[in-house]
């Protein structure tokens, strides 16, 4: 999965207008509230905190049924610390870019697994739009079958980090794989 804005397609590929560049994957340090690109650093340059997604206190927190009013001060302390760091990923932007990349680089007639399509003249001003719900569901199922059969290439078929793993887990939960 590319960590920086995508490059232009090689010469001789299908001429489609590129979607807007996706936003970078960013995170906010919960200790000092500074914002960084995840592709640049996982350590806060201000307070030396390392990017975290799960609060260290969550594993030792008291189950809700055992909490009493006396624990409100400990809950307040956890809230003051700010909990885990926040992260923001542009799923829609990277999905549009993945659709564009597959449409322009795949041989003609091959399935591009595109969840986004370029707008035509009658659909408003340029740019890209999400495909209709019915087509989107068909694409999602085809991608899921591809991921489950392990016939995919993450660089080609995944629109965001671990998309294939999330799809395989969902298929496992539905009983599609053992």
Number of neighbouring beta carbons within 10 Å of residue 159: 22
pLDDT at 120: 67
pLDDT at 10: 54
Give the pairing type, strands 128-130 and 35-37: unpaired
In order of 12, 21, 27, 157, the CA distances from 6 in angstroms are 18, 7, 20, 15
Beta pairing partners, 117: 129
pLDDT at 58: 39
For residues 132-146, give the mean pLDDT.
Answer: 82
Say which residues have a Cβ less than 8 Å from residue 32's Cβ, sequence separation at least 6: 44, 46, 47, 49
- Residue-range domain boundaries for the chain: 26-88, 91-120+127-173
Residue 172 clears pLDDT 80, i.e. is over it: yes
Give the pairing type, strands 128-130 and 26-28: unpaired
Strand residues in 76-171 grouped as ranges (E): 86-88, 116-118, 128-130
Residue 26 clears pLDDT 60, i.e. is over it: yes
Confidence of residue 63 (pLDDT cuts 50, 70, 90): very low
């Amino acid at each position: 999965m590319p960590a920086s804005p995508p490059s232009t397609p090689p010469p001789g590929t299908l001429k489609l207008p590129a979607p807007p560049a996706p936003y970078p994957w960013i995170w906010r340090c919960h200790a000092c509230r500074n914002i960084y690109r995840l592709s640049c650093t996982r350590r806060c340059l201000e307070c030396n905190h390392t990017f975290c997604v799960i609060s260290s206190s969550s594993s030792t927190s008291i189950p809700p049924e055992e909490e009493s009013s006396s624990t409100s001060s400990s809950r307040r302390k956890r809230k003051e610390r700010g909990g885990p760091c926040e992260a923001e990923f542009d799923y829609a932007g990277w999905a549009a870019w993945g659709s564009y990349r597959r449409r322009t680089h795949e041989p003609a007639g091959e399935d591009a697994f595109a969840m986004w399509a370029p707008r035509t003249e009658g659909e408003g001003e340029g740019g890209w739009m999400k495909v209709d719900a019915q087509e989107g569901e068909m694409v999602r199922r085809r991608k899921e079958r591809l991921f489950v059969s392990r016939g995919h290439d993450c660089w080609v078929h995944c629109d965001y980090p671990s998309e294939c793993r999330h799809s395989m887990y969902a298929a496992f939960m539905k009983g599609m794989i053992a």
